[in-house]
Structure 1
Amino acid sequence: MTERMARLTTMAAGLELGAQGLPRVPWLAFECVVPTPSGRTAEALLCRTWPGIRQAVVHNGLFPTLLMSLADNGFEPVALSDCRPVTRTGPFRDVDLTALRRIIGERPGGVSMICLELSDNAQGGYPISLANLREVRRIAVAAGIPLVLDATRALENAAAVVEHEEGHQGRSIWKVTADLLATADAVTMGLSKDFGIDFGGLVATSRPGLAELLREQVSTRGHQVNLAGRRQIAAALADSGGVAEQVGRRRAAVKMLWNLLSRAGLPVIGPAAGHCVLLDAGAMKQFADFEHPVPSCLDWIYEHTGVRGGPHLATGADAAPLIRLAVPVGTATPDIREIGKRLARLYRSGPAPVELIPVDPAAPSAQAAYHRAAGVPEDIKAALREGVRAKDDNLGVLKDFGAPVEHRIVGVPQGGEVEAFIAGDGPTLLFIHPFNIGAGVFRHQFADLSDRYRVVVLHAPGVGRTNASADLTLRGLAEVHRAALRELGATGPVHLAGASFGGLTAQTYALEHPDEVASLTLICSSYKCANRVGEVNRLDVVLKEDFDRIAADGADAPDERRRRHLEGVLLRSESMDPQTGLRYLDVFATEPDMLSRLPLIAVPTLVVQGRYDSVIPQKTAHLLRDGIAGCRYAEIDGAGHFPALTRPDEFNSVLTAFLSEHDTGHDTGPATGPATGPDTEFDTPTTTGKGAQ
């Protein structure tokens, strides 16, 4: 490409340009030809200047950039049926004329244009026969509908016509190109594919209304491409010998790769097309049981061969799971042989692939993020598959409860922003929320403790609007919380109260910055990640088990109405970006437990445990208590995993009694030994009444 651009620059020097910006070439017989910086800018210019009412555009599976330009300018793209090449054989992927007539008949006067892509990417790069294109033209003329071609690969399509279509063998590729383009009222072209130039496109038409509007664009706004660029484009268009040779070499390279893979037994779609090879991942034995074979196969190929492919562009519920291996212009024959050898070796004797699942199944495959399936619990997989999304209504929960909360977004030095909820004045009391439940779980604390403390909740990365997710390790989370507190102006030692997974962040904060911590409270927390038999489960699963256990074992369980209310609050408070949430699972798998570091915690500590907690076993809470010097322990009767919400009176009473001992001006050093005897109120279970209803 570099050599060709240098040659075109030499050819372009002093080249005379016509009044419309480009000299005429025989195969592009349109009255108005407007050069553009790229193919996509040509598409946008056509759609923006199209005269008349914006209605349906019948198409054969256009490239996404053109589909977006049509939608952006008020058109309604309507796809023809049967655009999936795995369902057909033979060298051409012709337009379904019956379907075309039906769609036009269903929309009398409601079709703005028929738009077809030559050597259509959505159909695997297979060409349209000239005979079929002429039939489309006849139908369009009879219906009074303009025909527009995306002719970016017109030369490639013409070469296939010369090779395969009866009556055209032996003809000049340029004369066939002229015949293809002559069927159209307008064409767009990107020049980087067939013409071997690293920029440029064009819009061409002889349709009077459209031509007038295009010329008006140039006269009022000027050319989109400067003089030197227009000369290079003109040189590329005129280089008939160089372009034809380049297209022929690439078609030969594609055929060679197709033959190599086919002989090795890989399931390729045949016959060989013009610029890419389609590989059927669903037909490969390695992916027989995979729910998403395409991303898994792409990952497998790239990891073990260095060959980069992409998902095939065809869409729809019944689209085959195909991989597109595009052959770039100028790929040398030895490179094609090496690519074929690597892929064949991997297919015959390579290591087993890793199954991937999409984080967001609704995302386009080319833009989706994926995660290793083996690290995702089955109920989380089901939630992703079903498109389940958290309600993420923490601010609404707090407002509904009447909590006097200030809502802020603050930037942090680590990059990104942190969502903050603040209420009250006094010593800072930072509640660190569970893994995927935000500030709403602490609504009672915002309401009841803000007369004595500056109550703060900072949403962790992935929760709510917090996107400071560069480092999801426990140390990274602790540093994000610390940085956000500083942005909020917190001064002096702060009280930390971490619930569930948030307790691990709080422990890390206290270990890294003990001089900045007045006290540490661990609420139904642990010394390790993922305490539910090594898993993280959907919140609705956790809630059912937790409330069921309270109902089965507790003498003072909430009635059905209150249970539904509490579950509703927690589900409204649920929040986690799916992609970030799956990254947390990777952290859980690698983050060491903190049991050996517990004796290093040198701040006053209280462990609060719900007696019927179904997530954190009592044994774990006792290990926390016994591992931290001077640690206090309180057990809330009638509570499960969420005592701050379900038993707020008892919880707040225990918490404030502890905090009052360690507010600013009080002794902030740790106690001298573990408090395990019954002579302190914190060492016996708290069994006060029903709590707030």
Structure 2
Amino acid sequence: MNYVSCKSSELPFAENYKIKMVQRIYRSTRQQRQKWVEEAHYNLFNLRSDQVFIDLLTDSGTGSMSDTQWAAMMIGDESYAGSDSYHVLHQVVSNIFGFDYVLPTHQGRAAENVLFSVLVKSGDFVPGNSFFDTTRGHIEYRNGKAVDCTISEAFNTTIEHPFKGNIDLKKLETVMSMYSKKHIPMIIVTITCNTLGGQPVSMENLREVKKVAEKYGVRVIYDSCRFAENAYFIKTREDGYRDVTIREIVREMFSYADGMTMSGKKDGLVNIGGFIALREKSLFDECSYFIIMFEGFTTYGGMSGRDMNAMAVGLEEVTTFEYLENRIKQVAFLGKKLQDYGIPLQLPIGGHAVYIDAKRFLPNVPKEEYVAQTLGVELYVEAGVRGVEVGTLMADRDPETKENRYPEVEFLRLAVPRRVYTNDHMHYVVIALKNIFHRRREIIHGFSIVKEAPILRHFTIQLEKISR
């Protein structure tokens, strides 16, 4: 047998953890999957988890916790008020992000609900970078308008721009100058920008956005659920940061923000939980009223003490280069293998997921028939792999015209859970997509809507297959 020799400096990359427990997953037949997806009304959210072989629906709350996190859970303090676990979490959040005021919530959308209940009112305009579904939903539910100010390069999936999550400062200035300060409660910066492919925001852009905000006297709030992945890309892509630690980069990033919402289910490395962190005592006090109304007492919010302990450890673990390198290299592995087969992706590959450009993948499916959802269903039937549509269904209808909003790019997102799957699983996904890509021109029809909710419809929508 021949072996490839290499010097010690050329040893291949390997994860710096070992697997301690496994869970069986069921490998179904194509006939079973066809039946199940029909029964689910072609909504992949309606599938049971045991009907899915590899689940890339989301990276939210689906990761594996470390032994240190599990150990921390055993000493969680479940006191209703003044929990020691709250103070542990508060100290970690303050140390990492630099905010003095912290309110736990049960997840990120709960943090948005509380904060936006204070800040957003009817007729407001909230500029930002390609809002994700719940963020836009919470703004529009309050009769506000989310205004996308993302750079134009982000919508061309073939361009290798290193920071496609950046806010276009000219677009931002236009919005800020067009409306009165009293109708712009905040600027929201999502790091990384999920809707556009897990794309990062540069430190320079964060700095300049803060300058614009200060000019007009408006707060900057970060949607921070993948903040550590954003810091990794700043370290590896932005001039001047290669020798700066992840912790130092994070601290500078958040020095340009007035507050943050956080889903701990992503870069908190936990299965449930989140928080709001703020600089202003007065805003903290106002949010506290809504925390008590919607979530729980201020020192536990929507979380148990054990989960606060686990998130505190997770925030420490996620802000190390070693963890981030493992995480992001697996996502890159999936993306690069897909590229080898010519499958069109959002480039560069993001931090938490690979985003397939569904319109380029399925050129014969009309946009009115939900292209990315069509590809998602094809992938599930082909191989039992579940992704999620980030396209017209997720974009919802325009609140005024009630017409479909057609985003510039239709994505099928393959979100990789943290520390869950091996690269063999990723290779399985690649081959499944390769098979579909070879017959892509035979796929000419998608779906029509049978039933939908008035907001955030993609979670519960019912579809029927078009065949004519």
The answer to whether the superposition gives a TM-score over 0.5 is yes
Work out which of the residue numbers 299, 322, 330 in structure 1 matches 2:377.
299
1:347 maps to 2:440: no
Q: CA deviation at 1:150?
A: 0.3
Q: Which structure ranks higher in relative contact order (CA pairs < 8 Å, sequence separation ≥ 6)? A: 2
Secondary structure at the aligned position of 1:66 is classed as: helix
Relative to structure 1, the CA distance from residue 100 to residue 18 in structure 2 (aligned partners, 3 Å threshold; closer, same or farther) is same
Within a 5 Å distance, the mapping from 1:593-632 to structure 2 comes to: none
Q: Sequence identity of aligned pairs in percent?
A: 21
Q: Assess if the C-alpha contact under 8 Å between 2:86 and 2:308 holds in 1.
A: no
Secondary structure at the aligned position of 1:277 is classed as: strand
- Match for residue 410 of structure 1? none
Q: Assess if the C-alpha contact under 8 Å between 2:73 and 2:310 holds in 1.
A: yes
Structure 2: distance between partners of 1:9 and 1:247? 20
Task: Between 37-46 and 209-218, report the one with greater CA deviation.
Answer: 209-218
Work out which of the residue numbers 110, 118, 134 in structure 2 matches 1:49.
118
Secondary structure at the aligned position of 2:167 is classed as: coil
Relative to structure 1, the CA distance from residue 361 to residue 166 in structure 2 (aligned partners, 3 Å threshold; closer, same or farther) is farther
- Match for residue 79 of structure 1? 148
Within a 5 Å distance, the mapping from 1:138-537 to structure 2 comes to: 138-215=211-288, 222=297, 223-224=300-301, 225-239=303-317, 244-284=321-361, 287-288=363-364, 290-291=366-367, 292=369, 293-313=371-391, 315=395, 316-317=405-406, 319-330=408-419, 331-348=421-438, 352-353=442-443, 355-359=445-449, 368-375=461-468
Q: CA deviation at 1:107?
A: 0.3
Q: Which amino acid aligns with 2:275?
A: L
Q: CA deviation at 1:133?
A: 0.8
Relative to structure 1, the CA distance from residue 268 to residue 333 in structure 2 (aligned partners, 3 Å threshold; closer, same or farther) is same
Q: Which amino acid aligns with 1:89?
A: E
Structure 2: distance between partners of 1:244 and 1:179? 16
- Match for residue 102 of structure 1? 174
1:29 maps to 2:29: no
Q: CA deviation at 1:156?
A: 0.7
Runs of at least 5 residues in structure 1 that lack an aligned partner in the other structure:
376-693
Structure 2: distance between partners of 1:347 and 1:152? 32
Q: How large is the RMSD of aligned CA atoms in angstroms? A: 3.0
Secondary structure at the aligned position of 2:91 is classed as: coil
Write the deviation string for residues 165-211 of structure 1: whole angstroms up to 9, x where unpaired: 11111321121111111211010000111232101101000123212
Q: Assess if the C-alpha contact under 8 Å between 1:114 and 1:147 holds in 2.
A: yes
Secondary structure at the aligned position of 2:204 is classed as: helix
Structure 1: distance between partners of 2:199 and 2:271? 23
Secondary structure at the aligned position of 1:180 is classed as: helix
Relative to structure 1, the CA distance from residue 374 to residue 102 in structure 2 (aligned partners, 3 Å threshold; closer, same or farther) is same
Q: Which amino acid aligns with 2:411?
A: L
Secondary structure at the aligned position of 1:319 is classed as: coil
Relative to structure 1, the CA distance from residue 53 to residue 145 in structure 2 (aligned partners, 3 Å threshold; closer, same or farther) is farther
Structure 2: distance between partners of 1:369 and 1:206? 43
Runs of at least 5 residues in structure 2 that lack an aligned partner in the other structure:
1-61, 77-83, 396-404
- Match for residue 11 of structure 1? 72
Q: Assess if the C-alpha contact under 8 Å between 1:117 and 1:151 holds in 2.
A: yes
Relative to structure 1, the CA distance from residue 4 to residue 362 in structure 2 (aligned partners, 3 Å threshold; closer, same or farther) is closer
Q: Which amino acid aligns with 1:231?
A: N
Write the deviation string for residues 393-417 of structure 1: whole angstroms up to 9, x where unpaired: xxxxxxxxxxxxxxxxxxxxxxxxx
Q: CA deviation at 1:231?
A: 2.4
Q: Assess if the C-alpha contact under 8 Å between 2:63 and 2:269 holds in 1.
A: no
Q: Assess if the C-alpha contact under 8 Å between 2:364 and 2:444 holds in 1.
A: no
Relative to structure 1, the CA distance from residue 18 to residue 274 in structure 2 (aligned partners, 3 Å threshold; closer, same or farther) is closer
Write the deviation string for residues 530-582 of structure 1: whole angstroms up to 9, x where unpaired: xxxxxxxxxxxxxxxxxxxxxxxxxxxxxxxxxxxxxxxxxxxxxxxxxxxxx
Q: Assess if the C-alpha contact under 8 Å between 2:117 and 2:290 holds in 1.
A: no
- Match for residue 92 of structure 1? 163
Structure 2: distance between partners of 1:367 and 1:249? 34
Structure 2: distance between partners of 1:216 and 1:372? 46
Q: Which amino acid aligns with 2:129?
A: N
Structure 1: distance between partners of 2:72 and 2:265? 17
- Match for residue 81 of structure 2? none
Q: Assess if the C-alpha contact under 8 Å between 2:278 and 2:284 holds in 1.
A: yes
Q: Which amino acid aligns with 1:91?
A: P
Larger C-alpha radius of gyration, 1 or 2?
1
Secondary structure at the aligned position of 1:27 is classed as: helix
Q: CA deviation at 1:259?
A: 0.8
Secondary structure at the aligned position of 1:311 is classed as: strand
Q: CA deviation at 1:350?
A: 7.8
Q: CA deviation at 1:348?
A: 3.0
Q: Which amino acid aligns with 1:4?
A: M
TM-score, scaled to structure 2 = 0.71
Q: Assess if the C-alpha contact under 8 Å between 2:452 and 2:462 holds in 1.
A: no
- Match for residue 22 of structure 2? none
Q: Assess if the C-alpha contact under 8 Å between 1:20 and 1:32 holds in 2.
A: no
Q: Which amino acid aligns with 1:370?
A: L
Q: Assess if the C-alpha contact under 8 Å between 1:20 and 1:34 holds in 2.
A: no
Q: Which amino acid aligns with 2:139?
A: L
- Match for residue 39 of structure 1? 108
Structure 2: distance between partners of 1:63 and 1:266? 25
